[in-house]
């Protein structure tokens, strides 16, 4: 059957790299660079659709293997295209199905589904063909014109402890922007994190904050939250230790913090023969805190077990885990079950920022403020028309499709940077060797506590 819609004539997969700060997480220290993969689709109507997803060789190879399933297909059949891709895909031999319950970064590539970058580019093309924004094609269509975001706070180590030749972190000490200067400096105390929150509030208007924990002693991280709350008494303040704490430690740290913390994200992980879902259900019962996750409900099967055990109240449905259609479908269920939908973030360029804006605009219910790492990459625009975060909210692009346009000169520069890198896969342990010689990842020990 012939369909009267444009035909995809070309699919490009462009690996790109950008610069990062020495951000600290349970898994270690971010390297000077982060990598991503772009999908660029061209159709015979003269339109270009774009998508962005995590970097790394596995994801890049997966995307390149899909080209013959995409080229030559009508954009009106985008769901059939995705279905054909799913029929062809097979789990990698190294994928044990455990996902990222213990924040093993090597397994993130198996939780991320590369075809969702293709889905984004297809929706971009379809929106341009129909002359509607991408959010109108998701779920029940556009629910809001702007989407609330949160200020994502990180501890940052001293980049000067690493040899500059091997780890050339950006130095923005001469920037005229106070936030740009601050984000490349050492930030390892409650006072400095509070300064970070103030700088983000000043630049982007954030009224809500999340602290990436699992870095220092839990008591220090709690003191950090207390100081932020004093500075911003009306803010929603959340913490994410990525399961670093034991159940008993998580209860002890959080049980008396109801006047400071709004919700806790992945406070505990598997222990004593019990899964993360069972342990987090016990944490909820003991503390009466709402619990969020991006670690134990990354697909429909995991969500079923999470929901059936009442382990979490807030599901952070990253569309690069769930797909754009899947993420919005989940928002329908969460709304009906009186649970909360949100989005988890990873290092990303502004293409993902635009995609998050559309996804957040289409989500049903009352979403939690969305994560974004973009504030740490701001200034490395690959778009001509990067969406803006103003007053703590991102404005949804008004044009057809994603409503944004690539700057190919910047894309080519980001690709050249990628090609110069010695490795393309994320490794948070490399820089840690200069902070703590012999450092080894332990999912139950904060990264700077050894």
User: Active-site residue numbers?
Assistant: 212, 344
Of 124, 133, 132, which Cα lies nearest the Cα of 40?
A: 124
**Structure tokens of 362?**
């289409």
Adjacency order of strands within the sheet including 48-54: 8-19, 33-43, 48-54
Rounded CA separation 185/188 (Å): 10
Residue 200 · residue 151 · CB < 8 Å: yes
- Strand segments (E) across 366-440: 389-390, 393-395
**Structure tokens of 46?**
């003269």
Rounded CA separation 266/250 (Å): 10
CB-side neighbour CA atoms (13 Å) of 104: 13
Residue 446 · residue 217 · CB < 8 Å: yes
**Structure tokens of 370?**
């969305």
SS3 315: strand
Backbone angles phi, psi at 169, to 5 degrees: -65, 150
Number of C-beta neighbours around residue 331 at 10 A: 27
Rounded CA separation 268/280 (Å): 6
Rounded CA separation 38/93 (Å): 25
Of 337, 272, 266, which Cα lies nearest the Cα of 308?
A: 337
Contacts of 46 (CB under 8 A, 6+ apart): none
SS3 41: strand
């Amino acid at each position: 059957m012939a369909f009267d819609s444009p035909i995809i004539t070309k699919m490009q997969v462009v690996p790109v790299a950008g610069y990062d700060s020495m951000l600290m997480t349970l898994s270690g220290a971010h390297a000077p660079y982060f990598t991503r993969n772009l999908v660029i689709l061209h159709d015979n109507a003269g339109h270009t659709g774009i998508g962005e997803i995590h970097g790394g060789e596995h994801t890049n190879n997966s995307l390149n293997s899909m080209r013959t399933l995409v080229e030559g297909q009508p954009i009106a059949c985008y769901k059939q295209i995705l279905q054909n891709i799913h029929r062809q895909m097979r789990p990698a031999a190294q994928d044990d199905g455990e996902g990222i319950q213990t924040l093993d970064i090597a397994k993130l590539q198996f939780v991320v589904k590369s075809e969702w970058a293709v889905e984004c580019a297809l929706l971009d093309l379809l929106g341009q063909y129909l002359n509607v924004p991408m959010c109108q094609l998701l779920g029940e269509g556009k629910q809001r014109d702007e989407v609330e975001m949160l200020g994502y706070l990180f501890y940052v180590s001293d980049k000067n402890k690493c040899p500059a030749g091997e780890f050339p972190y950006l130095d923005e000490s001469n920037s005229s922007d106070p936030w740009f200067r601050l984000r490349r400096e050492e930030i390892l105390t409650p006072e400095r994190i509070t300064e970070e929150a103030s700088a983000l509030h000043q630049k982007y208007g954030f009224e809500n904050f999340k602290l990436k924990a699992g870095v220092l002693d839990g008591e220090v991280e709690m003191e950090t939250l207390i100081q932020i709350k004093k500075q911003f008494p009306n803010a929603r303040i959340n913490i994410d230790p990525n399961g670093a704490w034991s159940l008993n430690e998580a209860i002890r740290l959080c049980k008396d913090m109801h006047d400071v913390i709004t919700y806790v994200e992945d406070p505990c992980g598997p222990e004593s023969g019990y899964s993360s879902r069972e342990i987090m259900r016990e944490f909820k019962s003991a503390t009466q805190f709402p619990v969020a996750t991006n670690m134990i409900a990354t697909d429909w099967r995991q969500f079923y077990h999470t929901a059936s055990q009442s382990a979490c109240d807030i599901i952070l449905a990253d569309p690069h885990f769930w797909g754009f259609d899947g993420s919005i479908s989940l928002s329908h269920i969460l709304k009906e079950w009186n649970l909360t939908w949100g989005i988890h973030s990873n290092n990303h360029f502004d293409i993902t920022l635009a995609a998050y804006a559309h996804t957040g605009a289409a989500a049903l219910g009352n979403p939690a403020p969305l994560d974004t790492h973009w504030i740490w990459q701001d200034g490395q625009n690959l778009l001509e028309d990067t969406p803006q975060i103003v007053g703590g909210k991102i404005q949804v692009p008004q044009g057809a499709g994603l409503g944004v346009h690539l700057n190919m000169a910047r894309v080519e520069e980001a690709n050249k940077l990628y090609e110069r890198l010695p490795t393309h896969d994320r490794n948070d342990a490399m820089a840690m060797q200069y902070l703590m010689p012999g450092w080894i990842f332990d999912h139950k020990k904060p990264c700077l506590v050894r």
